[in-house]
Structure 1
Amino acid sequence: MLRHAGKRLLAAIPLLLVVPLLVFLLIDLAPGDPAVVLAGDNPTPERIAAIQARLGLSDPVVERYARWVGAVLHGDLGKSLMSDQSVMEMIIRRMGATMSLVLFAMVMAVVLGALMAILSSLRPGGVVDRLVNWLASIAIAIPAFWFGLVLASLFAVTYRVFPAFGFVPLSEGIGPWLSHLVLPGVALGLLPAAEVTLQLRSALGQVLTSDYILNARAKGLSRRSVLFKHALKNACVPVVTVFGFRVAEVLAGSVTIEIIYNMPGLGSLAVDSVLSRDIPVLLGFVLFSTSVVVVVNLLVDISYGYFNPKVRA
């Protein structure tokens, strides 16, 4: 199992190189020039050319990419073109809000999705089963940004139950931390929760009709006992397999949610860097996001052996 995880880690290294390269190419093809932004109002061609030469913006894209990779290998993500701040420090300062939001959304997705799938599986074809499938299907079709606006309007503006904007770090208390995460976390976690519900419900439906489950029922075990002691663990295999994709999905969705709730996270930082063409900041965000997905997938591979004994060897 560890050998398999090691192979997956080595296979992820090209991903960490290719994704930033694609970003480099897209930025190079996109209209606009950060040197024009830095030059201020009514810039002269000479001033723009001087800024491009100083920052190396006029160099070939492959050369700039190679220079960036070399700096990253030495632990240097560069400095922001707009603020001259360290990109590493900017990411560290903002990652708390984003990772808190992603954690809240994923915990909600797993807990709520598993609960709904289990309730639905207790009586297949019953009222609860049909209701859960209907609600999950609707939830998948609801855009996170629209749901976020509805939640903010209802529970922050109308009833003032939760704060509408901002973020409070965990160091200032778990109560304020959670209260600022509830609305954006629910908006972000609705889609993965619905996906977990439908996927786990489908897997449970297949497992509960397998021969070893039918034999267990024939021996007198109740459906509830069979579900929790035997079926649930095996049904989790397909859900665990795509858990890394769910994290990537939530991490991408956090960009719009952070903007709606004015959270000082990496998503809003990425949007600002795109609008201002702040290349080092954008590349730092891409590298961080890709690394998170790679690490999560590695942890999934390691934990996969618990759910599927065939890969433990």
Structure 2
Amino acid sequence: MKTMKRSLLNAFVYTLMLGANASYAQSEPRIGVTIYKYDDNFMMLMRKEMNKEMANFSHLKWFMNDAQNSQVKQLKQIETLLKHQVNVLAVNIVHANESKTIVEKAKLSNVPVVFFNRSSDNQALESYDKAYFVSSDPKEAGRIQGELIAKVWKSNPDFDLNKDGKLQFVLLKGEPSDVSAERSQAVVESLNQQGVQAEEIYSDTARWRRTLARNKMNEWLVENRAAEIEVVISNNDEMAIGALDALNAHEKRLPIFGIDALPETLALMKKGEIAGTVLNDSSAQAKAVVKLVSNLAQGKPALKDTQWESHSSKTIYLPHIGIDKENLGQFLP
């Protein structure tokens, strides 16, 4: 009997605690964040910046989640966050083709959702008046990368190894997605617009990852046309560094260009091992995401008290900057 009374008392106390916690939780706006992969180098930088910005909004409750590059895991995280009645979702999506599913879940709960950094489906965004996207314009990234390559190419005649006046390149792509495709197309178009004749020797996807890029570059360096490669173009810095690893293993030097301006890349540029990169501003993106979701969580318009202009009613793009040896010093710590 004593055991039963004790159990009932414990259950009663636990219920009171739950009620108190629920009441407390509901008094402060809650924001659910899910990031596609914590150990992605760019997302590590962005998450660090987001945490700094979150400190300015200590009256809000933040729930951070690592999807570990699993769309299944991310969808479960979103379901759990919605079940616990978050006021807004911030989603760094694993796969863009699941945007519609996530938007539908958010819409059903009448919860705003801000996708960030990784591309989302435009139709999904347009289907919900409380869906937004914060990132950088992939076409702009490719265009600036092309301008950077053209500038370096024209000022270094020795890069034209076969002296045919053409830039023979290999291209490391991210994923079979809009972002990768747009960066890839834009960089080649930009080279042509700068008066540089460009010829692709090899191209393939390495899914934004250093190890896969290293493996792919190793394959290309033993192919029949390996000797024709003059420049390495990469959709991001991680893959650019992977290509550098492969070139070093083969004791070869070629100009390499990436996108993101990771600290490691800037250090390699200082040593002359990477020729250029494009700043994909993790700090600016983090500030924009945190400000938008904090506004929405408090029932304010998404862009209230911000300096960012919406590319459309749904999208905010942060600008890129090309970096080579001439302006590298501005970006080094």
TM-score, normalised relative to structure 2: 0.26
Higher relative contact order (CA 8 A, sep 6+): 1
TM-score, normalised relative to structure 1: 0.27
